[in-house]
Structure 1
């Protein structure tokens, strides 16, 4: 073990990390993986200069990654599921029937709901905004609705669906960092998401009342539905797959098993409903994803995705971020930062406020929602346990602030993507992404009032302490070895 690392060295590391990541995102528009790996190396150097051995740091990185390996496996399985649900026609059926709720008279409300449906089906806010979101932008602007307002409704719906979908990478990452179970985490988020959605939809409805809609855009929707109908079998029996996954979630079957079974059901549906080759789906599409060849450029872009390969970006960035968190944690750097911040967290409400604040600050500084979940999760996990607060309270905070603030900060990867996909500047659409603002505020309100903040039973607390002791013991044994 080394000595306590001076605060100035920790701050130096943070400044270098922030500067390098902002340069990468804003100036070079490149990938953050390499830069984050270099920052990881710098963190190791600082730790070693203060007496920490490489074997200790390496073990810490491996242990941190191992603790979230279930989430990594889920990432890979989600890629398989998305590919099979598209190849089997399940996603197409969800989009086709989902479009039927799109009424020009309540366009903003409908676009928010539709994006939520697609995001829940695909597990991706990026996929939703970059495909159906683009179509909704064109339709909304044609109706006479301002582009920033349309973009705001799309982002609200897309991030709601992403946040609540068991297929989403961040929805799996947050409970993994907090030590919560996936479906417990999703169920706990209902407390903050439901009122946020209701308030957002009311605002969109009121704003939409003054819009002079045009029935001409109905043809665009019908054309999209026709392409789907002409190229795929949209039998309602396809909904067996998502219903099965929901039932397994309700029965609290492990998420990895539920998603894998869902993917296999999609694989079986390929020959049954779409007349495709089971061998091709298994040998090619499970890994490389589904490639749509309808001849319609928009539909092909919408449906060409999925596969194990599609999850490599998220998985690799997550692994590097976890390794970085492992070094910060094992060297005491996170503990030092925690002590500074926790000085003001005298109550559970203040602890939740600090957690939400930290997620947003990390998003601002690091420009990535994965890091804004990984670092605060590692920083505050033990403090939540010490106060006997269930892990799902922490995981909900990580999503309410980390996930939802990411598209509102102009230089984050999420914001950059949304600007490019929707063609609207972040500063223009951000005020209208109502759900992304309201949800963290409701989470903060719950923190101070105690509403939905669940505490551990004595048995759960003892299990958490035993688990922590076991993890520390394994880490010590790994170092000695």
Structure 2
């Protein structure tokens, strides 16, 4: 009896690849928008769809499983960094590092420059915590109350709050999106942040100028702000932490590590060590070695008695990062299958027929991320999937991965707030009490960021090429 000839897999056709993506988009949309679930299980259903296509075109299960493992392996650095950052946040909260950053941010508030101050306060808070949602749910709520007392339209105030919160989220090494984008592109978080500086600071300056001009007519009215909400937050911070400018040293150490090109993992670990040293010095017996170990694993639990502040400060810890880590694992399983079976390749090939330059490639990524935010309404997915779709195309054109990671963050991270049915848009409407249409025109940072990135691609400020050594390392 003759042995059966093993079926050889064939390349995926366009309609088969589209089936995998359409299935993922539909499941994501139904799960997130209708049933309001987290994206993890819908993402896994997408993995099932991609696997079925792989089986249909001739791949056996062993190869499919290996493709998932290969996909996950490409994100292992990001997964390790996310885990370490979880520890960092817990330790910094216990030590009073993050509370001190928030405290000094609140102190710069001046009713005469309310809108600019709102941007700055939310920027500092988001940089310190790595979360735009936490910033808007605490500082944002307080600032909306002050805006009402000043007679500033709520849409304008919300625009200032959102702009500041997303600036910090985009640039903070504590942010999960700031770590996901370089992981998907194939670079490290510090290289990513440094390359984002020029377009992001340019957009930030435009934002501050806009709100500075807008604020002039409101400050001229002479209204007195009710800053009781801010005073309550400041009192809450003082009640639980010893605040000191010396507690700003750990973030300065991390920033210094970025400047000196220290690799991401040891650079962030230096921040953990410095925070752990300062914890017992400034916070006393409540921050002994056992407490440090506990918050590094489980996160910090705040008990100021102020609900909004406790919500912001109860964060961090290795275990609390597992949601982001597990989503990354599932997304990379999907990406691994799509790459091995050439499903990504056939879709990207069709899209790349539309572009013939590095500028066009950056524009394509920006557009894809915005479309992802609208069709798969979840910020993480709009970074992960386009990142994996275009990584190889950028490499083939000799473009440095930081060009891709910058484009991902300049659209995927920030435009999520502009989509009413995106999880971010829904959250903002719920927390700040304003509709997307009310704040859309004033979320300057969010809609200017992709525009500035695209315009700066013309003089190649947001485009970087790999050196011969980097090309050789990438090929290896």
Select 2:438's aligned residue among 428, 432, 435. Answer: 428
Q: Report the counterpart of residue 370 of structure 2 in structure 1.
A: 360
TM-score by structure 1 length?
Answer: 0.93
**Alpha-carbon separation, structure 1, partners of 2:332 and 2:75:** 8
Q: Report the counterpart of residue 261 of structure 2 in structure 1.
A: 252
**Alpha-carbon separation, structure 2, partners of 1:40 and 1:69:** 19
Deviation, 1:222, is: 2.9
Contact 1:446–1:452 (8 Å) recurs in 2: yes
Q: Which moved more, 1:404-413 or 1:5-14?
A: 5-14
What does residue range 240-279 of structure 1 map to in structure 2 within 5 Å? 240-275=249-284, 276-279=286-289
Contact 2:358–2:463 (8 Å) recurs in 1: no
**Alpha-carbon separation, structure 2, partners of 1:439 and 1:76:** 28
Contact 1:144–1:213 (8 Å) recurs in 2: no
Deviation, 1:357, is: 0.9
TM-score by structure 2 length?
Answer: 0.94
Matched, 1:312 2:297: no
Deviation, 1:194, is: 1.2
Q: Report the counterpart of residue 175 of structure 1 in structure 2.
A: 182
Where 2:227 maps in the other structure, the secondary structure is helix
Deviation, 1:101, is: 1.4
**Alpha-carbon separation, structure 1, partners of 2:120 and 2:114:** 10
CA 1:114–1:352 in structure 2 vs 1: closer, same or farther (change >3 Å)? same
Matched, 1:7 2:27: no
Q: Which moved more, 1:39-48 or 1:309-318?
A: 309-318
Q: Report the counterpart of residue 45 of structure 1 in structure 2.
A: 52
What does residue range 308-457 of structure 1 map to in structure 2 within 5 Å? 308-457=318-467
Where 2:305 maps in the other structure, the secondary structure is coil
CA 1:220–1:31 in structure 2 vs 1: closer, same or farther (change >3 Å)? closer
Contact 1:166–1:255 (8 Å) recurs in 2: no
Contact 1:132–1:302 (8 Å) recurs in 2: no
Deviation, 1:231, is: 2.9
Contact 1:267–1:281 (8 Å) recurs in 2: no
Where 1:345 maps in the other structure, the secondary structure is coil
Q: Report the counterpart of residue 245 of structure 2 in structure 1.
A: 236
Deviation, 1:147, is: 1.6
**Alpha-carbon separation, structure 1, partners of 2:184 and 2:222:** 46
Select 1:222's aligned residue among 212, 219, 231. Answer: 231
Q: Which runs of 4+ in 1 moved over 3 A?
A: none
Q: Report the counterpart of residue 186 of structure 1 in structure 2.
A: 193
Deviation, 1:380, is: 1.4
Q: Report the counterpart of residue 469 of structure 2 in structure 1.
A: 459
Contact 1:22–1:367 (8 Å) recurs in 2: yes
Map Cα deviations across residues 371-415 of structure 1 (whole Å, 9 max, x no partner).
211221112112212211111111100110111111111222222
**Alpha-carbon separation, structure 2, partners of 1:325 and 1:28:** 25
Q: Report the counterpart of residue 135 of structure 1 in structure 2.
A: 142
Contact 1:167–1:259 (8 Å) recurs in 2: no
**Alpha-carbon separation, structure 2, partners of 1:284 and 1:423:** 36
CA 1:243–1:366 in structure 2 vs 1: closer, same or farther (change >3 Å)? same
Deviation, 1:245, is: 1.1
Q: Which moved more, 1:86-95 or 1:219-228?
A: 219-228
Deviation, 1:269, is: 2.2
Contact 1:93–1:235 (8 Å) recurs in 2: yes
Q: Report the counterpart of residue 4 of structure 2 in structure 1.
A: none
The unaligned stretches of length 5 or more in structure 2 are 1-7
Deviation, 1:230, is: 3.5
Deviation, 1:213, is: 5.5
What does residue range 71-150 of structure 1 map to in structure 2 within 5 Å? 71-150=78-157
**Alpha-carbon separation, structure 2, partners of 1:44 and 1:377:** 20
The unaligned stretches of length 5 or more in structure 1 are 468-481
Q: Report the counterpart of residue 281 of structure 1 in structure 2.
A: 291
